[in-house]
A and B are shown apart, each in its own frame.
Chain A
Amino acid sequence: MSFVNFQSKEINCKIVYYGPGLGGKTTNIQYIYQKSSGENKSKMISLNTENERTLFFDFLPLDLGEIRGFKTRFHLYTVPGQVFYEASRKLVLRGVDGLIFVADSQVEKLEANQESLNGLYKNLDEQGYDIKKIPLVFQWNKRDLPNVMPVQELERQLNKLKFPSFEAVAKDGIGVFETLKAISKAVLMNLRSNV
């Protein structure tokens, strides 16, 4: 859950990158980490296996500027994509404010995308989230590969609730910031005040 501190005028939000294994979730936040600069650049934490697959999560805090007088910090997490890490994915989802579903656009990955998306909906439901209300953005990654599905087909198969979506080649940074900014905007506009 996001935290708004009205005394210090600070906002903390949690954004999770979700999706099938080897879809490009870690690549997204590695690119963000590489390109972010300045005195507010934070350290990225990766809990990996020996062969560089995400074991638990990647974590990148982003100390951003102010919006309407509120200092804003986003906590970016990835989940492990491999099927047998379901328990870890559930833990990382706790308190999530916004989601980026990173889909692998390749034809042969459709089933893995669907399985991961179904798992996401199930996990959110178990944690009491209304999937129609939580900010979610789709990223169609790996658009540079030759065997990709048409975007319209990905939309039809995976994005039935018509969430915003972006094409991407995360390894080259294409679409990475567009996706992040879209979910950030959605999360901020979903914040609720008790004043």
Chain B
Amino acid sequence: MMKNDNHIIANEFKLIFQGLENTCTLYIVYEDGTLFFPKKPHPMALAVGALVSGVWLASNELAKQINLHDSLTSRLSFDSSDSGIHILPLKTKARLYFMAIVYSKVLNPGLVKNQARILRDKIAGSDYFTDINAVKKTSSVLFENISDDEVNKLFSNIGI
């Protein structure tokens, strides 16, 4: 992954969503629900990641039941006339992500969805994402001999 990848994505978002950046929020999620962007999320953003992944995967399974197999050209929206969430698959060379735009009180939701597609295509065609952060199953273990004390200390951070 390139250095400052989150910074680059944030800049692309600002550029493509110029004039909309105060009413739109961008999330990028790994397939398993882990948040990729933003890197320093507020607690609610973690839930957004899990739910975006869950709703997409569930919808995809539903689509398979009616022979709508090409999920990479699909998109998913849950919205009213001026607010909502728009989810797109983001397939890079390395893996599948989900990109979600949450928008609130915008005059032209169609523009938001169009800009979302432009941003998705820009990111998907770039080298922002590679797979070096993913753990390779064939490589060596990261930690050896973790003690119970270390685990207890880890959990003490949340009062457990």
Contacts and interface: CB of A to CB of B under 8 A. Distances in A.
A45 B45 CA distance: 12
Contacts of A6: 133
Nearest to B133: A5
Contacts of A194: 132, 134-136, 139
A189 interface: yes
Contact of A65 (B44, B144, B153): B153
B66 interface: no
Contacts of B152: 181
A14 to B, nearest CB: 6
Interface in B13-63: 30-34, 39, 43-44, 46-47, 50-51, 54, 57-58, 61
Interface in A148-192: 177, 180-181, 184-185, 188-192
A66 B151 CA distance: 10
Contacts of A63: 43, 157-158
B141 A61 contact: no
A67 B143 contact: yes
Given A3-B135, A193-B139, A87 B61 contact: yes
A181 B153 CA distance: 11
A35 B160 contact: yes
B73 interface: no
Given A1-B32, A3-B133, A4-B135, A64 B154 contact: yes
A42 B156 CA distance: 15
A42 to B, nearest CB: 4
Interface stretch (A18-26, A88-96, A110-118, A135-143): A88-96
A36 B141 contact: no
Interface size range on A against B = 35 or more
Nearest to B36: A3
B132 to A, nearest CB: 7
A37 interface: yes
Nearest to B153: A65
Given A4-B133, A42-B43, A91-B61, 7 more contacts: A7-B1, A32-B160, A59-B47, A91-B58, A177-B155, A181-B155, A192-B140
Interface of B: 1, 3, 30-34, 39, 43-44, 46-47, 50-51, 54, 57-58, 61, 132-146, 148, 150-160
Closest 3 CB pairs of A and B: A95-B32, A65-B157, A37-B159
25 contacts: A3-B134, A7-B3, A14-B32, A14-B34, A36-B158, A57-B50, A59-B33, A61-B50, A64-B155, A66-B154, A68-B150, A77-B50, A91-B57, A94-B31, A94-B32, A94-B57, A95-B30, A95-B31, A185-B148, A188-B143, A188-B146, A191-B141, A192-B135, A193-B142, A194-B136
